[in-house]
Amino acid sequence: MGNRIVVVGSSNTDMIVKLPHLPKPGETVSGGAFSTAAGGKGANQAVAAARAGAEVSLVARVGEDSFGEQAIAGFVGDGIDVRHVMKDPATPSGVALIFVDNKGENCIAVAPGANAGLTPHDVEAAQELITRADVVVMQLETPIETVERVATLASEHGVRVILNPAPAQPLSDEILGNVSILTPNESEAELLTGVQVADDAGAEEAARALVARGVGTVILTLGSRGAYVFESDSGELVPGFEVQAVDTTAAGDVFNGSLAVGLSEGLPLGKAVRFANAAAALSVTRLGAQPSAPTRSEIEAFLG
Domain-embedded: residue 19: no
Would you say residue 284 lies in a domain?
yes
Count of domains forming the chain: 1
CA angle 265, 248, 238 (to 5 degrees): 45
- pLDDT at 84 exceeding the cut of 90: yes
Beta-carbon neighbour count of residue 43 at 10 Å? 34
Residue 101 among the catalytic residues: no
In a domain, 278, yes or no: yes
With contact defined as beta carbons under 8 Å apart, do 247 and 19 qualify? no
**pLDDT class of 105 with cuts at 50, 70, 90:** confident
Residue 104 lies in a domain: no
- List Cα–Cα distances, 270 to 113, 150, 182, in angstroms: 37, 26, 15
Whether 178 contacts 213, CB under 8 Å:
no
- How high does pLDDT run on average in the chain? 94
Say what angle helices 41-51 and 251-264 make with each other, to 10 degrees. Answer: 50
As a whole number, mean pLDDT of residues 106-132 equals 95
pLDDT for residue 2:
60
Q: What is the pLDDT of residue 1?
A: 45
SS (H, E, C) the chain: CCCEEEEECCCEEEEEEECCCCCCCCCCCCCCCEEEEEECHHHHHHHHHHHCCCEEEEEEEEECCHHHHHHHHHHHHCCCEEEEEEEECCCCCEEEEEEECCCCCEEEEEECHHHHHCCHHHHHHCHHHHHCCCEEEECCCCCHHHHHHHHHHHHHCCCEEEECCCCCCCCCHHHHCCCCEECCEHHHHHHHHCCCCCCHHHHHHHHHHHHHCCCCEEEEECHHHEEEEEECCEEEEEECCCCCCCCCCCHHHHHHHHHHHHHHCCCCHHHHHHHHHHHHHHHCCCCCCHHHCCCHHHHHHHHC
| Residue that wins the pLDDT comparison between 245 and 144 | 144
Confidence band of 132 (pLDDT split at 50, 70, 90): very high
**In the predicted model, is pLDDT for residue 163 greater than 80?**
yes
Portion of the chain with pLDDT greater than 70, in percent: 99
Q: Which of 15-19, 74-78, 179-183 is the least confident region?
A: 15-19
The CATH number given to whatever domain includes residue 269 is 3.40.1190.20
Max CA-CA distance within the chain? 54
Domain span including residue 148: 4-11+40-93+115-303
Entry pTM: 0.93
Model pLDDT, residue 89? 96
28 lies in a domain?
no
pLDDT, tens digit, 9 for 90 and up, residues 215-265: 999 999 998 899 999 998 999 999 999 999 888 878 999 999 999 999 999
Q: Is residue 291 part of a domain?
A: yes
* Arithmetic mean of pLDDT, 199-227: 95
Residue 201 covered by a domain: yes
Predicted confidence (pLDDT) at residue 104 exceeds the cutoff of 90? no
CA atoms of 61 and 84, how far apart (whole Å): 8
Terminal-to-terminal C-alpha distance of the chain: 24
Confidence of residue 103 (pLDDT cuts 50, 70, 90): confident
Nearest CA to 218 out of 184, 241, 258 is that of 184
Is 17 inside a domain boundary?
no
Asked whether residue 136 carries a pLDDT value surpassing 90, the answer given is yes
